[in-house]
Amino acid sequence: MQDNQRTLRKEYIFEGKGLHSGKKVKMTLCPAPEGSGIRFLREDLGPDAVIEAVADYVTTTQRGTTLEKGEIRVSTAEHLLSAFSGMGVDNALVRLDSLEVPILDGSALPYVRAIAADGLQEQDAPRTYYSVKEEVTVEDPASGSRITISPAEDFSVDLTIDFNSHVLGVQEMHYDGTVDYASEVAPCRTFVFFHELEFLFNNNLIKGGDLENALVIVEKPVPDEVLSRMAALFNVEKVGVLPSGYLDNVRLHFPNECARHKLLDLLGDFSLIGTRMRGRVTARKSGHRINTDMARIVREMIKNNK
């Protein structure tokens, strides 16, 4: 049975704010023709301001994945791209009226719920796959990050995170065709360590962050005055720390939710290869930089028929 490409059945509109820019944005997900892949249209820059979601255009990867092509820039695209990948969307046009994809609840779940409600539209063209032919490793000795891809009949990921955190511990997540992306991966939210928050604010990041779209990990006891200052930054009355070591703004969906979110990010970043892949991925301490470095390498392997 032929495995055909798929697109959205209809348009979906999302409105929110960018995690880092804090700017309000309206985003419309639209069906697209077979073979067009995932593309972003910056409507605020004009009708031709289109950028393809491929690793060639990745620039910065600090706290998210940014694509740039000339003056066209799209930031924090990874959660949406992950939803497309996990739900099987091959072709879509994403229309934006600002530079950043809205953070919403910090996961891929809002997109998945919308798409799943209607299902996908099967198209006439077959899907394309790249089969990994030889083992390839990318690593960053400074951070200890490492990703290896090796030949396999199907796509799978074995992911481990280790932040030397007594709250998180060492977390693992396995993903393959038997794992339901919609329920097992999509709900998992982004996370940040409490001690990073003031630094991020002071460096003009997470302007759109709030206590509804992130897990906040607290490694050490925090004085009441510091908690009060954080509450003021997030414009809430007060915040506290749970015995589990997280701020009391949200509850975990899974004990290893942070590892699952790193998997969510990896799937989004790997979609920038531009085609589906057959191979086994082993990832340790992965992040946007090493994810997109590997995606770029795989694109080169495809171009060179390796």
Within-domain flag for 112: yes
**Coil, strand, or helix at residue 101?**
coil
pLDDT at 208: 53
Instruction: Give the model confidence (pLDDT) of 17-74 as tens digits.
Output: 987 777 899 999 999 999 999 999 999 999 999 999 999 999 989 889 999 999 999 9
Range of the domain at 44: 4-127
192 against 139, higher pLDDT: 139
> Taking a C-beta distance cutoff of 8 angstroms, is the pair 208, 19 a contact?
yes
Catalogue the active-site residues: 288
Categorize the per-residue pLDDT at 202 as very low, low, confident or very high, splitting at 50, 70 and 90. low
Indicate which CATH number applies to the domain containing 85.
Answer: 3.30.230.20
The pLDDT, as a whole number, for residue 174 is: 98
- pLDDT for res 249: 78
The pLDDT tens digits of the residues spanning 82-115 come to 999 999 999 999 999 999 999 999 999 999 999 9
Q: Which residues contact 3 (CB under 8 A, 6 or more apart)?
A: 126, 127
**How many percent of the chain have pLDDT more than 70?**
95
pLDDT of residue 197: 76
Which residue has better confidence, 115 or 192? 115
Domain count, the chain: 1
At 209 the pLDDT is 56
Domain annotation covers residue 74: yes
pLDDT band at 290 (very low <50, low <70, confident <90, very high): very high
pLDDT at 205: 56
Within a domain: 80: yes
d(CA 148, CA 156): 12
Asked whether residue 64 is domain-assigned, the answer is yes
Q: Is residue 105 part of a domain?
A: yes
248 occurs within a structural domain: no
Torsion region of 302: left, alpha or beta (phi above 0 gives left; psi -120 to 50 gives alpha): alpha
What secondary structure does DSSP assign to 196-214, as a single string?
A: HHHHHHHTT--TT--TTS-
- Flag whether 155 is in a domain: no
Residue 8 lies in a domain: yes
Q: What is the mean pLDDT of the chain?
A: 92
Name the pLDDT band for 201 (thresholds 50, 70, 90). Answer: low
Residue 153 confidence (pLDDT):
96
pTM score: 0.94
Better-scored residue on pLDDT, 304 or 69: 69
